[in-house]
A and B are shown apart, each in its own frame.
Chain A
């Protein structure tokens, strides 16, 4: 079955430290992967995506993600966390169903950056 998993409900990081939010996936064919962020009482905002090419993808707000095909992972990273990075982060993967495409979403990881 095609799926995406975010194994951590919550990640706590001290401000200034590097952060990693984990995502693993299971899809047939080439994976198209996305990260979105949701601030409280807001809609989701696109951060970055992997379609093809370099395994290290750079996105908004200093975030980057590393695609690892052998580990079927697409972890979100940032070298130095800011308090303002505290939010809910979603990983998503494109799947094909009945000749149509849609995203299936991870359960979300709450990122808390402590001053």
Chain B
């Protein structure tokens, strides 16, 4: 039974398109995250939600819009995709927002923009 799941696993699309990535966790955690991992494997946080409330919003283009319909789901919508958006996007969750508990990661969504 997958703890943190993401769909789709792969996403290939053209520049200018709009796409969404979905994330669900069945761990009962309060906090969820979106990370971007670039081609050099650098990992950077994009957003953090706690109980459906946006907590962290890093310097991310406003073409990226997260949405949390409930605390078990955190989706990521991306408008007007650009070549530089190509990366692997990871969703993660943790029990609490204070950063002392471990994060559980989804399998990632590899986004390729052509």
Contacts and interface: CB of A to CB of B under 8 A. Distances in A.
Interface of A: 32, 34, 36, 38, 41-46, 49, 51, 88, 90, 94, 97, 100-103, 105, 107-108
Contacts of B13: none
Interface stretch (B65-73, B74-82, B100-108): B100-108
Interface residues of B, number: 23
Contact of B108 (A43, A46, A51): A43
Interface string B84-103: 00000010100001111011
Interface of A is mostly: strand
A38 B41 CA distance: 10
Interface of B: 4, 40-45, 48, 55-56, 90, 92, 97-100, 102-108
Contacts of B103: 44, 46, 103
A37 B58 CA distance: 24
Given A44-B90, A88-B41, A108-B41, A101 B105 contact: no
